[in-house]
Structure 1
Amino acid sequence: MLTESHLTFRKSSYSQGGREDCVEVADLTGGAALRDSKHPHLGHLAFSASEWRAFLTDVKSHRL
């Protein structure tokens, strides 16, 4: 299992204006990991590649 120290998290390109309340994502082999940027010490959620694709598809379909 990967620990936080082995993951490289990045903020979304949609996180602009110096806002600190966002979600960060890290690439996993076969998926992605998400964490709260305000509370990174609480860990992350891991998603399989198919779960991650489904999430991104849904988010993109709801853009304003």
Structure 2
Amino acid sequence: MNKDQITSAIDDFQQDVDQLVEQALLTDNPDEMRDVIRRCALVLESNFIPQISAAMITVK
């Protein structure tokens, strides 16, 4: 992964989180808000961290 790919991964993650936060702001239901937070964590764990980890290994 090069710098552009890392930047793209960060941008993708930010867009995913922004969409989830927008959904959370549309509800007053605490359970739905918790669900949005869980989905943010899932996006982080399943997409962003592996991409950045792969980039760090490639850079070494």
> TM-score band, normalised by the shorter chain?
0.3 to 0.5
* Greater gyration radius: 2
TM-score for both structures, normalised by structure 2:
0.33
Bigger strand share: 1
TM-score for both structures, normalised by structure 1:
0.31
